[in-house]
Amino acid sequence: MSGPLGSMTCSGREASACKSPLSTRLREPLTHARFQQLFGVAEQEPELPAESCLPQQCRRWRRRVGACSGQGAWRLLLARLPPLRWLPQYRWRAWLLGDAVAGVTVGIVHVPQGMAFALLTSVPPVFGLYTSFFPILIYSLLGTGRHLSTGEWPGTFAVLSLMTGSAVERLVPEPFAGNLSGIEREQLEAQRVGTAAAVAFGSGALMLGMFVLRLGVLSTFLSEPVVKALTSGAALHVLVSQLPSLLGLSLPRQIGCFSLFKTLAAVLTALPQSSPAELTISALSLALLMPVKELNVLLASVLCFTSSLDTRYNVQVVGLLPGGTQHILIMDPSLSRFPQPLLPNLAELPRILADSLPIALVTFAVSTSLASIYADKYSYSIDPNQELLAHGVSNLISSLFSCFPNSATLATTSLLVDAGGNTQLAGLFSCMVVLSVLLWLGPFFYYLPKAVLACINISSMRQMFFQMQELPQLWHISRVDFAVWMVTWVAVVTLNVDLGLAVGVIFSMMTVICRTQRVQCLALGLAEGTELYRPLRESHKLLQVPGLCILSYPTPLYFATRGQFRQILEWHLGLGERSKESPMPGSLPDKAAEPIRVVILDFSGITFADAAGAREVVQLTSRCQDAGICLLLAQCNALVLETLTRVGLLDRVTPEQLFVSVQDAAAHAMERLELTGPKICTVWI
């Protein structure tokens, strides 16, 4: 039972005075020390020898190595290779057809989408197909999300492609001369492919480092308003960056701050030189793209082939698939149609580290959140640290095959679930579709106009633009989150995606810090006829005991809030130069004429305290002693109490001044004030 029965009070010292059908018993106020004595505390661990005083992670690894056995190795293998767990329990008759249909459906969509997002990355379209194959294959072996689909798709992956493309364009810019020979064009593309692969290698290495150090918590700094504003702002960048391809203009890609406005200015300047043929193709593609994307790709290829648009009107087409530069790919079709494994240029890693870090964080944060959503929906669990390993290895190994960074996204995952996907086996069927295009169906995409791929990129962003419809609701729910959304979006649009993400994360964290400094200290009063203490502003029926002040400070006590803590306590207790003659904003008028003799600090809302905050409490204790005020602490958690003890709190107060609850501290205070108040009653149900 709960409710009023769980908080009964007594007005006398005999148990019979408690008017309750349940058996009750009065008890004395419990101090922290008395509570530990009655209910026991955990035994202190023996001190380790000096040679064993290593970081906790190192000691854990040492125990694992020391306990290594065949059974332990098998458990480790089961943890790191999820198919060994779910494959023996696979329901072949019930799940195989659904996985096959879902995998083929997603694979068909991956083909045009992969080539389209390769344009955003500033690499040849064939490398989009490679990125649709290798990462999916690797994640199917290492990932714990049964319904998660990696590869290229609108939303988050567009952001990653745009971020990677910005790094590629910055590190390997196109010469200002513009007109390049065939060999020079191949060399430029080779350098760009190598840079994109180096970014994937760097982001994969960072995620593996996070896996080793268990730093998955870093992804929590990407709040929902930051992620949605980032993708919405990046969608605008995608739209503007694809305008030259839509209009048939050969313009250099703008990078850096204000790149969106620079691109718009360049497009408007060169608008009279646009190609009518490519403009017509773009208009028809956008009209047909919404209902049937794959049929539009086929129609565009047939139209360009039969009309010879590439030669008669100089329409840019995809070209040979697979293709690429000679020193990256094995070009002889009789030998291989896959890129030759090649380690990216490690000399580029210091230059692309700043680009790889945000890509790694966005990849892990979005992929893990998506995996958690569908894991909760279908009643299974995921391992976030294993997800770090899966995406880290996926990006690291795929970079050896000239792939660019990849991630999982909501749209392709929803498509896989709607098509009947049940396990990671659907990813293998998706890989088969992409593999068939690489081995046999590539020539059918030779005449596919690049303008169609640009239309695919633009149409894929419509979901990102629709996110702005949520702004009125977000304003109604939380204006702080609305401000985070707007600041991030404006920063992404006006600066660039990387700087916008940094501004959004920093601003989001600053709002948290500012909110800890705007918390009001609550004065508590006694609810008549009970032993409950509630904020005085909640009801005019709450009683304020003469000579007793109960304050609740519901925020962490650290260097940024200690000044506010000192100011509030000085005002309530009449200490220092600031007295109650100058009312504090939002405070209640002081109607009590009797000076304060006992003050109770409710520390239940203080989740942590640093050295500066703890010293502030010790100084307050000394000032209360000088003013003749007895200070009692209530509901102080173990970590805060340990910090207070280390800075010398027990040199100022006795253990009898530390209580387990406000009720216990108040009962002790009333005895000290020689007042008749509610007695603490234990209810036995």
| Structure token pair of residue 625 | 């002693």
The predicted-structure confidence for 530-566, as pLDDT tens digits, reads as follows 777 777 776 666 677 788 888 888 888 998 888 888 8
Please give the pLDDT value at position 114: 80
Query: Percent of the chain having pLDDT more than 70?
Result: 74
Name the average pLDDT for the chain. 76
pLDDT-based confidence at residue 51 (cuts at 50, 70, 90): very low
Please give the pLDDT value at position 286: 77
Contact 375, 382 (CB under 8 A): yes
pLDDT-based confidence at residue 64 (cuts at 50, 70, 90): low
- Quickly tell me which residue has 């068909």 as its tokens: 108
- Render 432-444 in DSSP notation, one character per residue: HHHHHIIIIIGGG
pTM of this prediction?
0.72
Give the lowest-confidence range in 12-21, 300-309, 574-583: 12-21
Closest among 85, 63, 83, 65 to 73, alpha carbons compared: 65
Q: How far, in whole angstroms, is CA 287 from its chain's centroid?
A: 36
The C-alpha angle with vertex 411 and arms to 85 and 439, in degrees rounded to 5, equals: 75
Average pLDDT over residues 569-578: 76
Q: What spatial distance separates the first Cα and last Cα of the chain, rounded to whole Å?
A: 8
CB atoms < 10 A from the CB of 380, how many? 13
Contacts of 564 (CB under 8 A, 6+ apart): 517
Q: Which one has a higher pLDDT value, 68 or 145?
A: 145
Angle, in degrees to the nearest 10, between helices 276-289 and 450-460: 40
What's the Rg (C-alpha) of the chain?
33
The predicted-structure confidence for 594-616, as pLDDT tens digits, reads as follows 788 889 999 988 888 999 999 99
Q: Say yes or no to pLDDT of 334 above 60.
A: no
Please compute, for residue 223, the number of CA atoms within 13 A of its CA located in the half-sphere on the CB side.
Answer: 20
Calpha distance 209→146 (Å, rounded): 24
| Structure token pair of residue 200 | 């994937």
Please give the pLDDT value at position 177: 59
pLDDT-based confidence at residue 196 (cuts at 50, 70, 90): very high
Angle, in degrees to the nearest 10, between helices 70-80 and 384-399: 70
Name the region of 628 (left: φ>0; alpha: ψ -120 to 50; beta: rest): left
pLDDT-based confidence at residue 327 (cuts at 50, 70, 90): very low
The predicted-structure confidence for 5-46, as pLDDT tens digits, reads as follows 333 334 443 433 333 333 344 567 878 787 777 776 554 444
Closest among 104, 161, 91 to 131, alpha carbons compared: 161
Contact 661, 29 (CB under 8 A): no
Contact 10, 664 (CB under 8 A): no
Q: CB-based burial of residue 1 (10 Å sphere; 0-12 exposed, 13-18 middle, 19+ buried)? A: exposed
Please give the pLDDT value at position 141: 87
pLDDT-based confidence at residue 3 (cuts at 50, 70, 90): very low
The predicted-structure confidence for 245-302, as pLDDT tens digits, reads as follows 888 887 877 877 888 898 899 989 988 888 888 888 778 877 776 555 444 455 555 5
Q: Which one has a higher pLDDT value, 111 or 47?
A: 111
- Render 320-364 in DSSP notation, one character per residue: SSS---TTTB---TTT-SSBPP----GGGHHHHHHHHHHHHHHHH
Average pLDDT over residues 400-416: 76
Q: How far, in whole angstroms, is CA 357 from its chain's centroid?
A: 13
The C-alpha angle with vertex 191 and arms to 185 and 197, in degrees rounded to 5, equals: 135
CB atoms < 10 A from the CB of 55, how many? 8
Please give the pLDDT value at position 447: 66
Eight-state DSSP code of residue 675: -
Q: Residue 622 in 3-state DSSP?
A: helix
Calpha distance 587→548 (Å, rounded): 17
Phi, psi of 163 (to 5 degrees): -65, -40
Calpha distance 197→195 (Å, rounded): 5
Write the CA distances from 521 to 551, 584, 662, 669, integer angstroms: 7, 11, 15, 20
Write the CA distances from 452 to 35, 295, 436, 437, integer angstroms: 73, 12, 22, 18
